[in-house]
Structure formats: C-alpha cells, structure tokens
A and B are shown apart, each in its own frame.
Chain A
Amino acid sequence: MPDQTEILILKAKKGDTIAFNKLVGGWYKRIYNFGYKYFSDHDQAMDITQKTFIAIHKNLVRLESPQKFKGWLYKIALNYCREEDRKQKKKWILPFVNFKTEKEEFVFNAYESDLDDPEKSFQKGELAELMAKALGKLNSDQRAVIIMKEYECLKFKEIAEVLNISENTVKSRLYYGLKSLKAILNKWNIKHQCYYF
C-alpha cells in the first residue's frame, strides 16, 4: 500500500500543485538541515534547499517510481552541495557580518531560564558548534555519508543509490569518516568522557 509521500508524488506528477506544496512542506526541513550540516551556513543551506525543490518541480514527471523519491531528492541536494562546494573553493568569501558572534539580549526569567542547568546547556551548545566544525573538516564524501546516515537516517542501500557506489564502499567511508572525526576531536581535546561524566 503506498504511503502518504507516494500518494502525494503521484498526485503532483499529474499536476496537482497542492499535493506538490504538501510534498515540499514535508521534506523542506530535512533538506535544509542536510544542507546546514554540510555547510554550517544558513544562507548556503537555504540556497541548496530552494534549488533542490525547483529541480524536483521541473523533473518530477520524469521520476519513474515514487519509491525512489527519497534517494532522488537527496541525490539532487547532494549534487547542489557539491556544486556549491566547488564554487566556494574558487572564491575567497569573507562574511560581511558574523551573526554567530553577535551577542543576544539577555532577559532574565527565573521560571523559564537555563537556571535548571546552565552549565549543561552551555556545554551542549558549545559541543554542537564544535561538532559542526569537525564535520566541516572531513572530506566531502565522508561528510555526506555521515550526515545521510547519522542525521537523515538513510539505509546503507539508499545511501549507496544516492552516491552511486556499493554498500561496502558506503560502510567503509562511514568507518573512516567516524575515525577521522574522532582524530579531529582528540586533537581538540574533546573526549566523550568530558561530556558524560
């Protein structure tokens, strides 16, 4: 029995714009986060998300089977990520405003503040930022595999289809990717025990 996404794809293929809009609504967050984890940059993530859905809209009629939609979607997104990566390597970008360093206004609220465990919340945010940086240090193949497996929860078979490689190669890239990540984190003196004592 076809699931909700498959029904929407079939309707969208027939020209039902409402179904296509629903499809976009359902996958927008996932593709944005895929792009965000790939680049650690909001603008680039937004850019690839928009490009991906425009491409989907243009070529949805050509999609043979709705079951292949997920892999196809990530394949397009990944291609745009790589394209953006290549463009980025060619030019030297200096951000005009560094939003992350801007201080947010502090408003104290005893009932809703991080008073419960401010240390932990600070650590959590700090670690997330470091993990994003560490992911950025990996090569693009390993990074893509880790993001697809760890955050997008794709099966090895699906990742293999997206990348057009064998399942064993996917696993191998994931293995070495995790090892490289560990080495980077060790270099920065970030260990599992630091955050889980």
Chain B
Amino acid sequence: MKKLKNILYLIGLYFKVNLASAMEYRSSFLMQAFGMALSNATFVFYWWIAFSQIGGRIGGYDFKDVMFIWALTSSAFGASNILFANMFRITTIIVTGELDTFLLQPKDVLISLLCSRTALSTWGDLLYGFVLMALTHGNDGMVWLMFLLGIVIGGLLMTAISVTAHTFTFYFGDASLIGDIALEFIINFCIYPEGIYRGFVRAMMLSVIPASFIVHIPLKLARSFQPGLLLILLAFAALYCFIAYKFFYHGLKKYESGNLIITRM
C-alpha cells in the first residue's frame, strides 16, 4: 500500500513538472490539442455515414455503443500519454543510455522514466472522449462511471503493452518496431465492435493484446452491471500490469548503458 502511495505521489510530481513545461509553449499546446481532437472528430462522421447506410447494428453494436468505445479508446490513449508519454520512447531511452539518469535516483526506475515526459497533443485525445460521451450519452450515471473506470484501466493496459514490447530491447536490441506494432494493434482492435472479431483474434484480444478489457468489457458493464465481470476486469488489469513491471525489471539486469548526449525535454 505504501509503495502504491509512493508511486502515485511520484506520478503527481512529474505531472506537475510536465504540465509546467508544456505551459512554456501555450499556443503550441492549444493548437496540438485542438488539432488532435479535430482529427478524431472526422471518424464520428465516418461511423455516422456507415450506420445511416447499413442501419441497425454492426457487429452487435449500435451507433452509441461505437461512440462509447471510440470515446474510451481516445480518452484512455490520451490519459496514458499525458501521464506516461515516454512509453513510446522506452527503446530510445534504453539504447541512448538516458536510463542512467533514472537509475541514479532513489525512486522507481520504470515509473520515473514513464512519467518524465508528457505529450501535448494527447490532451486533445483525452478531451475528445469526454465531448463525444457528453454528446452521445448525456448524463447516464453508470455509463459515465464505466467510462471513467475504463480510462484508468485502459490507460494502464496501453502503457503496460508498450512497456512489455519495448522491454524486448534489453534482449534483442531495438524493439521500437514491436512497440509501435503492439500499440497499433491494440488501438485498431479497440475501435471496432467486438462482434466482428472471431477465433484466434478474439483470443488475442482477451490475453496478449487485451483490447476487450480496455473497451468491450467496460461497455458490457455500462449496458448491464455485473460485479463478477468487474472483478475479472480489475484482476486482469492488475495482473497484466504486474507482469509488464516484472518483465521490465528482469530486462533491466541486462542494461548496458550508452553515452549519447541527452537533454530532458
């Protein structure tokens, strides 16, 4: 419990510094955030056309359901990038020796490295999800509750996937491509109705690339709340993050450092 409290404290500290750093470029911050939200909004139009042409349901989802998974994917991605933007740069941090800075400090190496950067544009992704929810789901309390829970769980799972993929750098060298592919997979699986996936892909979405736990199960819970399913969701997310964390520390023993010139942005 004390460790969790320390981790949350550290995340809060870095968040404040990152936000202050982002505020140094206020107009860039606003433009990037607005641009990202605008780019996401075009997809709503695409789905609106699809549903008005086909009508009824696609893969078992109606228009509002699709908007829920879109909003959740966008906000979870935004939240993970606001807090843990270095999840995309883990390979670079390992290869260039930037990891040294975190190893020299008395706090958790993985949490420190993940939190020490924020992505400005992803504020747009986070806010976009909220706007989309407000437009399509109004003030339905249970739906909002599951949406908020989904942001936390989804954000953590996306980060854990990225950490796991990039950790292979300790073993093989450059794993940035694996990291990029893993995140692309997860996002692509998240933004389509669950019913269109079958067999092996469905199994992947419930295990290695856990898209179902990020959006589809929270939607199920929002439609009809089941305490057992909620417990499974929480237990899976905790286990997945724990494995990613342990895998990183196992890889860290193989760290060889580097001597490139590093600046902290």
Q: Do A and B bind each other?
A: no
